Amino acid sequence: MWTIAATLAQDQIWVTQDGRRMLIRDMDQSHRQNTHAYLLRRAKEIHEHVRWLRVRETLRGLRIDDPHRLVGETIYIPIEMDPEKWLRATPFMIALDKAIRDYGVEDGEIVDIKYEERINGEPRKLIS
């Protein structure tokens, strides 16, 4: 079963809410940006979910069916505690960030488009 944990652990496929699989490179820019914002808004919830999955996987790996048997034991499971920092460091988010940045590349130069000043009521596009 494909989970958000599986999505974040790889760097190519996004699974939409209706179950469709899309390559990051095939997503349009607005879809990439919306996916990025969606994941960041849910960083805390996703982090908690994945953290509990890791705990369960660790217990399964230790062949412990009853967690009560662990009373008095110490098990170390390294987990980044800042949800947004953790999320941004996942392979999927790194690839998604790169795809979003690369969309603004012309001739190998990153183009940052800013809208400043208004001329006749219209924003003047400044490219830096």
61, two tokens: 């790996």
3-state secondary structure of 62: coil
pLDDT digits 0-9 by tens, 52-95: 887 777 777 777 666 666 666 666 666 667 899 999 999 999 99
Q: What is the DSSP letter of 65?
A: S
pLDDT at position 127 is 44
pLDDT at position 125 is 46
Closest CA relative to residue 34, chosen from 88, 96, 87: 96
81, two tokens: 């505690």
Return the ∠ at Cα 101 (arms to 95 and 105), rounded to 5°.
Answer: 125
C-alpha–C-alpha distance, residues 78 and 64, integer Å: 19
C-alpha–C-alpha distance, residues 41 and 33, integer Å: 12
C-alpha–C-alpha distance, residues 47 and 40, integer Å: 10
pLDDT digits 0-9 by tens, 16-51: 888 899 999 999 998 999 999 999 999 999 998 888
The answer on pLDDT for 124 being more than 90 is: no
